[in-house]
Amino acid sequence: MIDSPPGTGDEPLTVAQTISDAKALIVTTPQEISLADVRKSINFCRQVKMEILGLVENMSGLKCPYCGETIDVFKSRGGQETAIKENLRLLATLPFALEVVKGGDAGDISLLDNEGLLIVQEFNKMVDEIVKLTELTTRSMRDNQIRSPQAN
């Protein structure tokens, strides 16, 4: 797994040129400034023929610790709308979780074992879907190689 900055800079280009079967997971936040970069990344992946597994909307709403209502800090539904427009899977909508921020700052990520947290549930569903997608792709590539072996 290679985490690269958004857009079309040297890092994604190097990955595309050196790892022929690399796949992209596009991560965004719901606001337009992030979505503009994501659209560039999507177009880049399509130009270099890199498979896009799907789109993830990160920091999608914050549950108020006092009243329990969701606050759309960075707008809402930007990832979902972009996934629809770009004909991509929306793999997850991950909420902004104060517990994760506090745990990360304290060097304690044990809360990620808490299956009751919404972010943990959503993250685990996303990972399961990515595993399924990559297994399907790997199986399909293997089947194609068996059907049409390269000549020596």
The answer to whether residue 151 sits within a structural domain is: no
Which residues are bridge partners to 24 per DSSP?
52
Q: pLDDT by residue (tens digit) across 20-77? A: 889 999 999 999 999 999 999 999 999 999 999 999 999 999 988 899 899 999 888 9
The answer to whether residue 39 sits within a structural domain is: yes
* Sequence letter at residue 148: S
Does the pLDDT at position 151 exceed 60? Answer: no
Instruction: Report which of 85, 73, 91, 80 is spatially closest to residue 127, judged by C-alpha positions.
Output: 91
Could you tell me the CATH number of the domain that includes residue 130? 3.40.50.300
The answer to whether residue 5 sits within a structural domain is: no
The answer to whether residue 1 sits within a structural domain is: no
pTM score > 0.75 for this model?
Answer: yes
Domain that holds residue 122: 10-145
The answer to whether residue 104 sits within a structural domain is: yes
Distance CA 25, CA 124 (A): 15
Instruction: Report which of 61, 56, 12, 51 is spatially closest to residue 136, judged by C-alpha positions.
Output: 51
The answer to whether residue 4 sits within a structural domain is: no
Name the domain count of the chain: 1
